[in-house]
Structure 1
Amino acid sequence: MKNAKPKREPAKTASPERFERQMRDLVNYNLDGILVVGLDGVTLFANPAACTLLNRPLASLLDVEIGLPLSGADYTEIEIRHPDGSLATVEMRVHSIEWEGQPAWLADLRDITERRQAQEALRASEEKMRSIFRAAPTGIGVVCNRVLMDVNHRICEMTGYAKEELIGQSARILYPTQEDFDFVGREKYRQIAGAGTGQVETRWRKKDGAVIDILLASTPIDNKDLSKGVTFTALDITERKLAEDALRKSEERHRQISTLMSDYVYYGVAFPDGSTETQWISGAFERITGYTKEEVNQLQGGYSSLVFPEDLQEVIRQYPNLIKNGTLTVEYRLRCKNGEIRWMLDYIQYVK
C-alpha cells in the first residue's frame, strides 16, 4: 500500500499583526533597494538594501531630497556616485502609489554595475574580433553545417565573389568538384573529432573559373556542439605550390642531367689533414667509381681515401692557392671500387 501524502491544512488568515510583520520582512530582506519618495522629492522610506546601494545610512536618506529622476518613464538606468567617488549603474523602476494617504513614488533599485561591466567587456571583445576579422590578411569565415554564415573581405578578394553572393550558400560553391568538397568535409571533420581542429590542403574555384590552391584550417566554436558553427581560415598557397612544383621539376632535370653526363660534380668539406666529407655528388660518380655517396663517407678519410697518397699530398700542398685564388685545377689518380685506376682532372672551387 502506497504511503499517502498528508493533506495540507488550508492556510489560516493571518492576524493583522502577523501580516504586517510578514510584509515588513519582505521589504527589509529584499535584495533590491526600495524607496518611497514624496512628490516633492523627499524620501519617506528606505529599506536596508537601498541604504547599502546608495552607500548612505538611513538617517541621511529620510526627510531629505534624494535627487533621483522619479517622474517620467517607469524604467530607467542611472549612475549613482558614492561618497568615495565610485560609480554604480542602477536599474530603477518607478510606480505611483499612495503612502499614508498622500500620493508618492515607489522606486525599486537594482545594482547592475557588474552586468554592465561584463556587457561592456563583451562588446569590446566582440569589436576587437570584428576588427581582426575585417583586417586580417588571411581569409576568415564561419560555416554551420557547411553553409557559409560569414566571410571577411579577404575571402571575397581571393574568390572574386561579393560577400552577399556567399552568405547563406553551401561551401560547395567554392570547390571545383564534388570530390574536392567531399574530401575536405570528410578529412577536416575527422581531424576535428580527434584533435579539436583540422587542416587540409585543397582547391577552390574562383567566380571567374580559375582554380587556386588553398590551405584550410578549421576549429569549432564549441567542440561539443558543431551545430554552433566552425570558424575557418583560408590561405592562398597557389604561388607556393607553383614554386614547389617548379623546384621539383628543376631538381628532377638536374638529377637526370647529372646521371647522364660523363663527368661528375660533387660538393663537400675538406679538412686540413686531407680528409673530406661529401655532402652531395652527382649520379655519374657511382657509375664511374662504383661507390655511392654513403659508402664514400663511411671510408676513413672519405673521398680523399680513394686518391693515391702521393697525389693527395700534392692536392693538399696546393690548398693555400685554392683559398687565395678561389679555384684550383689538379690531376690525380683515383682507385675505383673494382680496383681499376682512373686519372681524374678536378676543377675545384672554394666556397666560404
Structure 2
Amino acid sequence: MSYQVFLDALHPEDRQRIHAMRPLLESGQLVHHEIEYRVVWPDGTVHWIAARGSANYDADGKPISSMGVIFDITDRKQIEAALRQNEERLRVALQASPITVFTQDRELRYTWVYNPTPAFANVDLIGKQDADLLPAQDVEILTQIKRQVLETGIGTRKEVKTTQKGQPQYYDLTVEPQRQTNGEILGVICAAVNITRLKQTELALRQSETILKAFIASSPIGMAFFDRDLRYVYANEALATINGIPLEQHLGRTLGDILPQWAPIIEPIFQQVMATKEPLLNQEVVGATNPADVVRHSLVNYFPVCLPDGEVIGLGVTDLDISDRRQAEEALRRSEEEFRTIANAAPALVWVTLPNGDNIFFNDRWYEFTGQTQAEAAGYGWTETIHPDDAARILPNWQRCQETGETYEGEVRYRRYDGEYRWHAFRALPRYDANGQIEAWYGLSIDISDRKIAEAAVQESERRLRRLVESNMFGVAFGDFNGGN
C-alpha cells in the first residue's frame, strides 16, 4: 500500500495530524510510535485503529522501513465514548441537583467530592475526615453507618441530621461499598440529598396538624368526617357527647351503627351533598340520640370534602348543640307569656320601655283605655295621650330619671278613648343587666280619678264649712251629749 493510499483512507479529521508525523519519522525524531487514528473502510464505516511500531534507518540515518502491529479498537472507543457521555450526563444532572456525591477510603478520608454542600463549598475536603468538619455527635452516627457498609459490603440508605455552621441540615444518605475489579472494598461511595426544606415543611405540617387536632378536639362544636361509604373517619369528643356514644366506638362505623334511628333521615342528606358538591348549612335537627329519652336541638352543617381536582373524598359535618339555648328561649317565652297574662289581668295600665324611653310593651288595658293602636303607642307615641298641662311637668322628669336611674313616679292625666282625661298615679323602676346598665323600665299606672273627685269633694266641704264658721257672728260651739264642752 502506498503512503498516498494510506493517507486517503484516513478519516478527514485525523489526516492532517498523522501526515504531520512523517517528517518526524524521516528525521529520526520519532523512532518508536504509538498512535490512534480513524480509517474509513470501503463500505463507509469508520474504524478506530491503534498502531505501535518502530522505524529502521540506514547508516546515513535515512529511514528504510517501519515495522509494527495495528489493532482495531473500535469497540473500546465506542465504550469510552458512551462512558464519557454518561459521565457528562451525570455531571450535568448533579450540577443542577441538590445531590452531593463523594468517596471515602477505608479510613473514611475524603478522596473525591462533587457538588459539596454550601457550608463546605470553599473548603478543601480531600484527605479530611468527618471529625474535621462536623460535631462529635454527628460524626458518631455517620461513622457507624459507613463502618457497617465497609464491614458487611452491603449498601444502606439512612436519613441523617448534621449541624453545619450552627444550622441543622437533614440528608437522605445512600452509602455503597466501593470495590476494585477483584471485589476488594476500597472504601465507600456516598450520595447525599439535602432534604432540609422537606423536613422543615414536614415539621410545620406536623405542628399545624397538632394544632388543628387540638383545636378540633377541644372545640365545643361536634365535628366529624365521613368517607364515601359513610363511615366515621374522624370525630371529636363534643360529637361523641351529643351522640351519647363513646368516641372510640365511632371510628370505622357508619351512622346507622351509631344512631340507627337517624340513619334513614340523615344518610340521604349525606348522599345529596356528596352528589351535588353543594353544602347544606344551618339545618336545625330535633330529636333523641342517646339516651333515648333526652331530646336534643342541634344546628347542623353538611359539606363535601374535595381534593384540589374536585374529587369528593367524603363529607364533613359540624353539630352545634343548641339544646340549652332552645330551653332558655322556651323559658323566656313562657316567662314573657306569664308576664303578659299577669299584666293583662292587672286593673292598671302596665308598660315597658327601652332605656331611652321608647315604649316596647303596653298591656291590653292601655289600648282599651286610650283607644290607641300598637303602632300609635310605639316609641314616644304614648305621650300624645298626656294632658298638655301635665306634659311640660312630667316629661322633663322622665328624661332625668332615664339618665340617673331614679324611680319615676307621680300623677298624670291620660286621655281616655272618649276624650275624657283621667287622673293616674304612676310608678316605674329600672331593670339592670349584669354590667349595671339599665336594660328597660317597667311601669304601672293606676286610675285615681275617683279618688281625686272624692278628695276634691272633701276639700270643697271643708271650704264651705270654713266660710260658714267665719261668717257666723254668734260663734259655734261643739260638745257631747253629756254636757261636756
In 2, Cα distance between equivalents of 1:163 and 1:259: 52
- Residue among 405, 410, 420 paired with 1:341: 420
| Residue aligning to 1:23 | 86
- 1:282 is displaced (CA, Å) by 1.6
| Aligned-partner Cα distance in 2 for 1:317–1:94 | 95
- Closer, same or farther in 2 for the Cα pair 1:65/1:310, shift >3 Å? closer
Residue of structure 1 in register with 2:334 after alignment = 249
Give the Cα–Cα distance (whole angstroms) in 2 for the partners of residues 36 and 262 of structure 1. 106
Q: CA deviation at 1:182?
A: 5.8
Q: CA deviation at 1:142?
A: 1.8
- Write out aligned runs for 1:101-180 (5 A): 103-104=185-186, 105-145=188-228, 146-172=230-256, 173-174=258-259, 176-177=261-262, 180=265
Deviation at 1:204, TM superposition (A): 5.3
Mapped partners of 2:328, 2:364: distance in 1: 25
Is the Cα–Cα contact under 8 Å of residues 187 and 200 in structure 1 kept in the other structure?
Answer: no
Give the distance between the partners of 1:254 and 1:78, measured in 2 at CA.
Answer: 75
| 8 Å CA contact 2:221, 2:238 repeated in 1 | yes
Deviation sequence 1:113-154 (CA, Å, 0-9, x none): 111111111122222222223333333322224432222223
Higher mean displacement: 60-69 or 317-326: 317-326
Counterpart in the other structure of 2:126: 62
Max Rg structure: 2
TM-score, normalised by the number of residues in structure 1: 0.75
**Rounded Cα–Cα distance in structure 1 between residues aligned with 2:209 and 2:341:** 57
Percent identity of equivalent pairs:
17
Q: TM-score, normalised by structure 2?
A: 0.57
Quote the Cα distance in structure 2 between the aligned partners of 1:142 and 1:250. 40
Q: 1:315 to 1:170 in 2, by over 3 A?
A: same
Partner deviation per Cα, 1:30-79 (whole Å, 9 max, x = no partner) = 232222222222222222x2x24662447x22233345532326112223
Displacement of 1:333: 4.9
The equivalent of 1:71 in structure 2 is 147
Q: CA 1:81 to 1:283, structure 2 compared with 1: closer, same or farther past 3 Å? A: same
Deviation string, structure 1 residues 75-106 (Cα, Å, up to 9, x no partner): 12223333x33332111112223258763222
Instruction: Specify every segment of 5 or more residues in structure 2 that has no aligned partner in the other structure, as ranges.
Output: 1-73, 132-141, 150-155, 431-437, 439-485
- Cα gap change, 1:309 to 1:162, in 2 (>3 Å): closer
Question: Partners of 1:324 and 1:115 in 2: how far apart?
Answer: 66
Matches within 5 A, 1:322-341: 326=407, 328-330=409-411, 332-336=413-417, 339-341=418-420
The residue type equivalent to 2:285 in the other structure is T
Gaps of 5+ in 1: 1-11
Partners of 1:324 and 1:42 in 2: CA distance: 90
SS, match of residue 121 in structure 1? helix
What is the aligned counterpart of 1:38 among 83, 97, 105? Answer: 105
Offset at residue 297 of structure 1 (A):
5.2
* Inter-partner Cα distance in structure 2 for 1:291 and 1:216: 44
**Root mean square deviation of aligned Cα:** 3.9
The whole-number CA distance in structure 2 between the counterparts of 1:131 and 1:138 is 13
Aligned equivalents of 2:172, 2:424: Cα separation in 1: 95
> Is the aligned partner of 1:285 residue 2:366?
yes
The one-letter code matched in structure 2 to 1:150 is: Y
| Partners of 2:214 and 2:405 in 1: CA distance | 59
Could you tell me how far 1:291 is from its partner in structure 2? 0.8
Q: What SS is found at the alignment partner of 2:283?
A: strand
- CA distance change for structure 1 residues 257 and 106 in 2, over 3 Å: closer, same or farther? same
Mapped contact 1:141–1:231 kept (Cα < 8 A): yes
Separation in structure 1 between the aligned mates of residue 83 and residue 252 of structure 2, nearest angstrom: 61
Provide the aligned length of Structure 1 versus Structure 2.
Answer: 327
Q: Which amino acid aligns with 2:329?
A: E
Q: Where do residues 198-217 of structure 1 align in structure 2 (5 Å cutoff)?
A: 198-203=281-286, 205-209=288-292, 210-217=294-301
Find the aligned partners of 2:260 and 2:366 in 1 and give their Cα distance. 48
Q: What is the CA-CA distance between 1:241 and the residue it aligns to?
A: 0.6
Q: Distance in 2 between matches of 1:206 and 1:270?
A: 43
Name the counterpart of 1:305. Answer: 384
Question: Cα gap change, 1:189/1:200 in structure 2, threshold over 3 Å: closer, same or farther?
Answer: farther
What is the CA-CA distance between 1:318 and the residue it aligns to?
Answer: 8.1
